Amino acid sequence: MTDSDKPTRNPITQKAEVRRQAAAARQAAFEAPDRGARVAAACHAVTEAVRAAGLTQAVLSGYMPMRSEVDPLPAMAAHRGPVCVPVVQGKGQPLAFRRWTHDAAMVAGAFGATVPAAGDWLRPRVLIVPLLAFDAQGYRLGYGGGFYDRTLGGLRADGAVLAIGLAFAAQARAEVPVEATDQPLDAIATEDGLRWFT
């Protein structure tokens, strides 16, 4: 390895570059025609995963979309069990999850997210996970807070959870840089359908 290779072999340095490329690829997918149909198909794949896992009545976490994320609302609305969304408690902390309903009062939370103004704190059994990029092994890249890694690590240490990434197909990459703390997805839902990782 030459000295000039070293910085790019550091996964944290690589992630910053992949994040820039992935944000542009997702934005292009978001702006392309037929977004509505692609979002509907991706959300349908989430619902299919929940049904296949026998978790139709379980607590499901969605999210309030930001930037060019796939809007998970159709999957949240279709769910028969309780639905919650993530709330940032602080830097370096796992996410908390607050009950969400269609008519819940929402307020601006930390890191640009919209969160419920009130409501019960729930432990999700199924999580719809937002992302910038995902790879063939089920690893994902988010905005760099490490929030989902900490959260999934904590939840998995405590019991089973099903983590379903929701993305446009254009967000796929052969590989994303991986650190020891990265928590892989169990499945990915896109407009091309559902894919389980083994």
Ligand X SMILES: Nc1ncnc2c1ncn2[C@@H]1O[C@H](COP(=O)(O)OP(=O)(O)OP(=O)(O)O)[C@@H](O)[C@H]1O
- As annotated, the binding site for ATP includes 15-19, 140-148
Amino acid occupying residue 26:
R
Binding-site size, ligand X (CB under 6 A): 16
8 A C-beta contact, residue 173 and residue 134: yes
Q: What DSSP character marks residue 197?
A: -
Distance CA 173, CA 52 (A): 26
x/- contact string, 121-160, with ligand X (CB under 6 A)? --------------------xxxxxxxxxx--x-------
Q: Which does 99 bind (CB under 5 to 8 A by kind): ligand X, ligand FFO, none?
A: none
Which residue among 144, 156, 179, 193 contacts ligand FFO (CB under 6 A)? 144
Is residue 74 within the footprint of ligand FFO (CB under 6 A)? no
Q: Smallest distance from the beta carbon of 29 to ligand FFO, in angstroms?
A: 16
Query: Of 94, 116, 130, 138, which one interacts with ligand FFO (CB under 6 A)?
Result: 130
Is 182 a binding residue for ligand X by CB under 6 A? The answer is: yes
Q: Is 137 exposed, middle or buried (0-12, 13-18, 19+ CB in 10 A)?
A: middle
147 binds ligand FFO (CB under 6 A): yes
From ligand X, ligand FFO, none, which one binds at residue 113 (CB under 5 to 8 Å depending on kind)?
ligand FFO
Residues 6+ apart with CB under 8 A from 146: 92, 181
Quick one: which of 38, 45, 69, 189 contacts ligand FFO (CB under 6 A)?
69
Answer with the entry of ligand FFO, ligand X, none that 182 interacts with (C-beta below 5 to 8 A by kind). ligand X
Residue 164's nearest CA partner among 68, 99, 76 is: 76
d(CA 12, CA 23): 16
Q: Which residues between 11 and 70 bind ligand X (CB under 6 A)?
A: 12, 15
Q: Which amino acid is at 67?
A: R
- C-alpha pair distances (Å), 149 with each of 11, 30, 44, 180: 15, 25, 25, 10
Q: Where does this chain bind ligand X (CB under 6 A)?
A: 12, 15, 141-150, 153, 179, 181-182
